[in-house]
Amino acid sequence: QVQLVESGGGLVQPRESLRLSCAASGTIFSINSMGWYRQAPGKQRDLVATITRGGSTNYADSVKGRFTISGDNAKDTVYLQMNSLKPEDTAVYYCNFRIRTSIRSSIYDYWGQGTQVTVSS
């Protein structure tokens, strides 16, 4: 069983910064990628950023240049540094790990519980 616990959300003003963290625990053989997704009220869950085992990153156009994703493989943890926050960034943010639990297993998606980020004056 794999569990993801995320933290760092909150209420901030526009142009301020926030840092999200997400740590995985349980039976983990390997982590192929880690990422962050967000879901605003009435909207679908959208990709924010991902990082692969090899360190390659990918960002949504809406956050490119403002957000930075990073990972710590030794701690099975992914971070999202969010700078220059805008009201449109308001959403529930979910971390995602693509994990193999054994050498013979397929890769499965695991999700955090979600953390609220609200950007408002």
Low-confidence ranges of the chain (pLDDT < 50): none
Q: Which residues does 39 contact at the CB level (< 8 Å), separation at least 6? A: 45, 46, 91, 92, 94, 114
The DSSP-derived string for 13-30 is -TT--EEEEEEEEES-SE
Per-residue model confidence as pLDDT tens digits over 16-26: 999 999 999 99
> Closest by alpha carbon to 37, among 8, 59, 18, 19?
59
pLDDT at 73: 85
The rounded mean pLDDT for the chain is 97
Per-residue model confidence as pLDDT tens digits over 39-57: 999 999 999 999 999 999 9
pLDDT at 46: 98
Task: Report whether 9 contacts 112 (CB < 8 A).
Answer: no
Share of the chain above pLDDT 70, in %: 100
